[in-house]
Amino acid sequence: MALLDVRDLEVHYGGIKAVKGVSFAVDEGEMVCLIGANGAGKTTTLKAIARMLPAHGELRLRDERLDRLPSHALIGRGLALVPEGRGIFARLTVAENLDMGAYHRSDGEIATDLARVYDLLPRLKERRQQIAGTLSGGEQQMLSLGRALMGRPKLLLLDEPSMGLAPLMVQKVFEVVQEVARQGVTILLVEQNAKLALEVCARGYVMESGSITLADSAANLLADSRVRAAYLGE
């Protein structure tokens, strides 16, 4: 069953069509990636799904039309974005950033979820009173992820989580992302490191110049000679 259904998505920057009638779906419980070169339209697609950019087309989360909602309403519907560049509140503490992730909630389980995030990301617990802007790049990425999880998302959009990180920290971030997926959160991943993305995801879509040109299982895309030549350096 499709949790996210994207139909005929178009995004324009002035007279330039950045996303050209893209359609795809992400099933509940899946981990799916969008791969492609810089400028292919991957980040623009995520921002359009999150209603951060004007777009045309139909966006559904289960049976609800997201394209009729403002961006700030989506977290309450179960959609969260971990943006490229992390987007943390640099002058707030780690704990305050995590609190912001639950700003829309009024239930009695926020403390339980905070404890769960600290279990998943123990470095954040160690640094919970530290000003977020003084964290390392990897710690900031963890914080951005933890803040999104505080919203209890059904669907998590991850935009370039490995960007600018050392290889060891990239490995750690993706271990956490896989654990989040195992806990039942559906994930749509945009990632420049195509090999890594395809190794951790079940399915993938290849974007080129604003269009989806290939769609298959991650294993088949890893074996595809076109993907290997274009994105895996082989």
CA distance 2 to 168: 34
Looking at residue 63, its pLDDT comes to: 87
Tell me, what's the pLDDT at 137?
A: 93
H-run or E-run covering 194 = helix 194-200
Helix (H) or strand (E) segment spanning residue 170: helix 167-182
Strand partners, 9: 22
Among residues 223, 211, 193, 175, the alpha carbon closest in space to that of 33 is found at: 193
Alpha-carbon dihedral sign for residues 217, 43, 78, 60: negative
Q: What is the pLDDT of residue 234?
A: 65
DSSP 185: -
Contact predicate 113/102, CB 8 Å: yes
Q: Which two tokens stand for residue 210?
A: 């604003």
CATH numbers and ranges of domains, the chain: 2-89+152-231 (3.40.50.300)
Give the C-alpha separation, 187 to 53, whole Å.
Answer: 20
Give the CA-trace dihedral at 35, 37, 40, 41, to 10 degrees: 50
From the number of C-beta atoms within 10 Å of its C-beta (0-12, 13-18, 19+), residue 125 rates as middle
Q: How far apart are CA 45 and CA 60, in angstroms?
A: 14
Map residue 192 onto helix, strand or coil.
Answer: coil
Which pLDDT does position 1 carry in this prediction? 76
Per the CB < 8 A criterion, the answer to whether 195 and 29 are in contact is no
User: Model's pTM, two decimal places?
Assistant: 0.94
106's CB contacts (< 8 A; 6+ apart) are none
Tens digit of pLDDT per residue, the chain (234 long)?
A: 799 999 999 999 988 999 999 999 999 999 999 999 999 999 999 999 999 999 999 999 998 999 999 999 999 999 999 999 889 999 999 999 999 999 999 999 999 999 999 999 999 999 999 999 999 999 999 999 999 999 999 999 999 999 989 999 999 999 999 999 999 999 999 998 999 999 999 999 999 999 999 999 999 999 999 999 999 876
